[in-house]
């Protein structure tokens, strides 16, 4: 996002024209169209080398499922990850659920072949990973696209029942806000008889409503205050800190960071007062919605080089909440320059081993002496107490 657009957004916020419930705005991902055959061939090679890799089979199944839904022999991929389909931001468990309408008989015939292949591959994946509810939900939805309506209803009911056993105990939603129960209900209810199944529909509707009320985690960027620290070292999952971490204006209680880290914040007037996640670099920075805190940070990258430096750093500070009370006490918020930071990286990757699969930047912060430290897009969860 160019700086002039960023300033416009801030102006709109000041005028009150950007509402809390504004539509999400994400950083654009550059995609490309890749032939299904090419992508499938690459994934088939992976499966051949690892025939018991359920996830590899599932990825191949999703390629064919996507080709079925798009009615196309080309599928979108992220240019940065050309070997996997781009399903969009915060994709649902069934990311290919929107079926394109076409009249071309050849395309429809090809789509049916992809559907058959996808169903078979999903069944193979489920045999290897019978507890994978993502696979079961995808398979059930694909059955709903065939003439096996009863089988689809049965499969959806089973996966929803399994999903509810876990979903009913949720205290907060995961990133994206998707649940097996809610998504599955969205596929099942249209297949049910409004009169005969009215009690079941009412139960499903009530469960979905309950889940929608759950809070979602938020992801502000944290900077370690000394070398050699990991994301786990920066997290205090037992904390219960009152703070407006989701940008709603409410002081809810959240997990927090340890005394070994500081929040990256936007404090252009150097007020030293950070009272909301809107001033941090996370999912609701500047009252826009972002996939990660690094996407929010990239809105300040005027020259598009993936690094925030020089004038681009203006207004950025670190908040070291030393006593962990969620309040900016005197001296806790200091400009990056006082910490010796000369640049920040917007480039990030995911940590598959972290329980929240957080985004992090390996060389997130660069200091005057040339040293670097990673930065972490930590996930704050509603406090347990």
Least reliable range by pLDDT among 55-69, 104-118, 320-334:
55-69
* Residue 291, CA atoms < 13 Å, CB-side half-sphere: 17
* pLDDT for 31 beyond 60: no
Mean pLDDT of 326-349: 95
Can you list the pairs that 340-343 forms with residues at least 24 positions away whose Cβ atoms lie under 8 Å?
A: 340/367, 340/368, 340/369, 341/223, 341/313, 341/365, 341/366, 341/367, 342/309, 342/313, 342/366, 342/367, 342/368, 343/307, 343/308, 343/309, 343/313
Structure confidence at residue 144 (pLDDT)? 96
Q: Which residues does 185 contact at the CB level (< 8 Å), separation at least 6? A: 160, 204, 205, 207, 208
The H or E element spanning position 184 is helix 180-188
The 3-state DSSP class for residue 346 equals: coil
Structure confidence at residue 24 (pLDDT)? 36
The 3-state DSSP class for residue 75 equals: strand
- Give 367's strand partners: 341
* pLDDT for 7 beyond 70: no
Query: What is 31-213's CATH number?
Result: 1.25.40.10
- 141-191 pLDDT, tens per residue? 999 999 999 999 999 999 999 999 999 998 777 666 789 999 999 999 999
Mean pLDDT of 345-353: 90
* pLDDT for 72 beyond 80: no
Query: Do residues 257 and 231 lie in contact, with contact meaning Cβ atoms separated by under 8 Å?
Result: no
Structure confidence at residue 15 (pLDDT)? 35
Distance CA 312, CA 74 (A): 39
User: Where in the chain are the domains?
Assistant: 31-213, 221-377
Report the C-alpha dihedral over residues 42, 356, 31, 313, rounded to 10 degrees: -140
- 219-268 pLDDT, tens per residue? 899 999 999 999 999 999 999 999 988 776 778 899 999 999 999 999 98
Query: Do residues 138 and 122 lie in contact, with contact meaning Cβ atoms separated by under 8 Å?
Result: yes
Structure confidence at residue 83 (pLDDT)? 55
Q: What is the pTM of this model?
A: 0.59
Q: Report the percent of the chain where pLDDT is more than 90.
A: 54
The two three-digit tokens of residue 365, written as one number? 């912060």
């Amino acid at each position: 996002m160019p700086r002039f657009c960023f300033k416009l957004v801030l102006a709109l916020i000041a005028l009150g024209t950007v509402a809390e419930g504004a539509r999400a705005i994400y950083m654009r991902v550059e995609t490309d169209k890749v032939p299904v055959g090419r992508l499938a061939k690459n994934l088939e090679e992976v499966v051949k080398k690892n025939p018991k890799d359920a996830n590899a089979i599932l990825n191949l199944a999703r390629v064919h499922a996507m080709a079925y839904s798009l009615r196309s022999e080309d599928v979108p991929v992220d240019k940065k990850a050309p070997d996997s389909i781009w399903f969009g931001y915060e994709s649902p468990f069934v990311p290919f659920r929107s079926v394109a309408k076409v009249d071309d008989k050849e395309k429809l015939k090809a789509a049916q072949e992809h559907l058959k292949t996808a169903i078979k591959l999903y069944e193979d994946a489920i045999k290897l990973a019978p507890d994978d509810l993502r696979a079961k939900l995808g398979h059930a939805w694909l059955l709903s696209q065939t003439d096996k309506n009863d089988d689809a209803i049965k499969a959806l009911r089973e996966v929803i029942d399994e999903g509810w056993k876990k979903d009913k105990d949720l205290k907060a939603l995961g990133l994206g806000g998707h649940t097996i129960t809610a998504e599955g209900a969205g596929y099942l209810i249209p297949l049910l008889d409004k009169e005969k199944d009215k009690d079941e529909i009412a139960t499903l509707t009530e469960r979905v409503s309950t889940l929608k009320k759950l809070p979602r985690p938020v992801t502000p960027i944290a900077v370690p205050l000394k070398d050699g620290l990991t994301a786990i070292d920066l997290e205090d999952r037992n904390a219960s800190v009152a703070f407006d971490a989701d940008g709603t204006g409410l002081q809810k209680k959240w997990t927090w960071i340890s005394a070994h880290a500081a929040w990256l914040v936007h404090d252009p007037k150097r007020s030293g007062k950070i009272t909301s996640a809107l001033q941090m670099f996370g999912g609701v920075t500047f009252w826009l919605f972002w996939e990660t805190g690094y996407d929010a940070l990239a809105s300040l990258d005027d020259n598009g080089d993936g690094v925030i430096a020089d004038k681009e750093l203006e207004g950025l500070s670190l908040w070291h909440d030393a006593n962990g009370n969620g309040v900016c006490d005197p001296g806790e918020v200091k400009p990056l320059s006082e910490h010796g930071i000369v640049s920040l990286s917007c480039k990030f990757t995911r940590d598959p081993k972290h329980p929240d699969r957080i985004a992090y930047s390996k060389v997130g912060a660069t200091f005057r002496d040339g040293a670097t430290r990673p930065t972490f897009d930590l996930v704050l969860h509603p406090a347990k107490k």
